[in-house]
Chains A and B, each alone.
Chain A
Amino acid sequence: MLAFDDDDPDAAIWLDTDQPRCGTLPHLSEPKLAQAVRDRIGRNLRAMYGDLLREPVPDCILDQITHLDRRGRGTIH
């Protein structure tokens, strides 16, 4: 489950606690996952995402592009 942290998207940038602080680089001093673990997560992430990439594109989206293309070329109005 996810929830957005802030109603204001700009605030999310300025109040982002992910920002490395000058001279401390806290994200670099924290314990790191082993390279093998990172590799496995990365591999599974790409494989999972690959399933989504291989899904057929819905006709409605293809039709939309065809329509936009024809309209832009003046073949339909």
Chain B
Amino acid sequence: LTATPEVRDAMLAAIPSLRAFAISLTYNVDTADDLVQEAILRAWANIDRFQPGTNLNAWLFTILRNGFYSRYRKARREVGDPDGTFASRLVTIPEQGARCDFEDLRTALAKLSVEHREALILIGAEALSYEEAAQVCGVAVGTIKSRVHRARERLGQLLAIHGVEDLGPDRMTQAALQSAF
């Protein structure tokens, strides 16, 4: 089996997203790369099932997610970042003194259920439509909406953000302030 050059190129272009999604699921870069490679193999072997014109990323996410759950569903497994591998790979400097900075967000994300986290990532970070995310996760659209809602609420609780008064200045504000003085 072979993919057309267009599909191959689209698959190559999708890899960063696929890796980011896998890391978000596993919080382990090596495991994430294994999942990505497995997903590529499966996608290549089943390329005739891909419908041109549909969202290739969503199709690949579905394959990767199935691999993730196949790998881990037998055991109650904890997913964490005990050695800080995930955190250390993120290079953005956190906001100083502000709630909801990146470090807090990473920690809070890790405390969400994997179902809530994947919904939030697919909608909030990958910008999939609710319909596409529902297809990826194999649930109803309403379930995805509910999970995103609950994930946001839970993040707010974990970050101890109840209202705008709990927010520190974000980076844009900080940059503006720093450039003003």
Contacts and interface: CB of A to CB of B under 8 A. Distances in A.
Interface of A: 1-5, 7-9, 12-13, 16, 18-20, 27, 30-34, 36-38, 40-49, 51-55, 57-58, 60-62, 64-65, 68-69, 72-73
Given A13-B138, A32-B153, A68-B3, 6 more contacts: A5-B113, A18-B146, A48-B92, A52-B20, A72-B44, A73-B2
A11 to B, nearest CB: 10
A33 B165 CA distance: 12
Contacts of A32: 153
Contact of A7 (B36, B73, B79, B126): B73
A62 B37 CA distance: 10
B128 interface: no
A53 B16 contact: yes
B2 A27 contact: no
B108 to A, nearest CB: 9
B15 interface: yes
Interface of B: 1-3, 8, 11-12, 15-17, 19-20, 23-24, 33, 36-37, 40-41, 44, 69, 72-74, 76-80, 89-92, 100-102, 105-106, 109-115, 117, 120-121, 124-126, 138-140, 142-143, 145-147, 149-150, 152-153, 155-156, 159, 161-164, 166-167, 170
The prevalent SS among residues of A at the interface is helix
A36 to B, nearest CB: 4
B19 A55 contact: yes
A61 B156 CA distance: 36
Contacts of B69: 9
B177 to A, nearest CB: 16
B78 A52 contact: no
Contact of A61 (B15, B111, B159): B15
A61 B102 contact: no
